Amino acid sequence: MAVTLPEGNLETRLSRYLEGFNNRHGIEDSLVEGDLVLVVVKPDDVPAVLTTAREALGILHLSFITVVDRQGSFELTYELLDLRGAQVRVRTTIEGEEPVIGSVTGIYPTANWHEREAYDMFGVAFKGHPDLRRLYMWQDHFDHHPLLKSFEISTRRTFEGLR
């Protein structure tokens, strides 16, 4: 088989991944818990960190990208799997109302539609994306990014006062 999947014990792999990130980049915070390695990095470092993950550490699969609107900042989570039991989570926070971050499509081609979705729903601009169009919403005459907390829906409900 042409695809090389990682081998060996889960704990050694997790520590190898964490060490690999620590040696090459300035990691703000990190955590190892169960089958998970979580690293918190600066937004500018994200493409470099993911390049390390793909090229040096051999983590093959980008599962998804989640954007969370923290009202004033945006939290991005890149979930990577090595397909053999370990999860690697790269987290970053972009300050401000107009988020811009480097695209990772050159490293993980599957990120193409994940980034298009994030752009569509949150207006996150991915620098260097080859084809940054909306994925779900219509292209013309629609200037909103619906998953932002500032996008109000008419049937907003609160559950205060319920017991």
Partner 1 sequence: MLSEERRTEGTALTQPASGRLANPDIRDEFGLETIDMNMGPQHPAMHGLLRLILELDGETVVRCDPVMGYLHRSKEKISENRMYPAVIPITDRIDYMNNMAMEYGYCLAVEKLLDVEIPPRADAIRALMNEFSRIMSHIPSLGFLLLELGAFTPILYAFRERERIQSIMEAVTGARMMFHYIRLGGVKADLPEGMPETMWEYIEGLESHLQPDFIDLIEGNEIFIARTRGVGKITPEKAVEMGLTGVPLRCTGVEFDVRKHYPYGWYKNLDFDVVTDQAGDVEASYRCRIGEVRQSIRMIKQILENLPEGEVMGDTGRRIRPTEGDGIARVESARGEYAVHVVSDGSDTPYRVHYRTPCTVNMQLLQEIVPGHYLPDIMPIMGLIDPVSGAWDK
Report in angstroms the alpha-carbon separations of 119 from 89, 104, 122, 137: 20, 14, 5, 11
Distance separating alpha carbons of residues 101 and 124, to the nearest angstrom: 7
For residue 32, state whether it binds partner 1 (rule: CB under 8 A): no
Q: Which residue has the tokens 């409900």?
A: 157
Nearest Cα to Cα of residue 129 among 103, 110, 109:
103
The DSSP output letter for 56 is I
For residue 147, state whether it binds partner 1 (rule: CB under 8 A): yes
For residue 21, state whether it binds partner 1 (rule: CB under 8 A): no
For residue 150, state whether it binds partner 1 (rule: CB under 8 A): no
For residue 10, state whether it binds partner 1 (rule: CB under 8 A): no
Residues of this chain that bind partner 1 (CB under 8 A): 1-3, 5, 35, 60-64, 66, 68-69, 77, 79, 81, 83-85, 87, 89, 98, 100, 108-110, 112-114, 117, 121, 123, 125-127, 129-140, 143-144, 146-147, 151, 153, 155-157, 159, 162-163
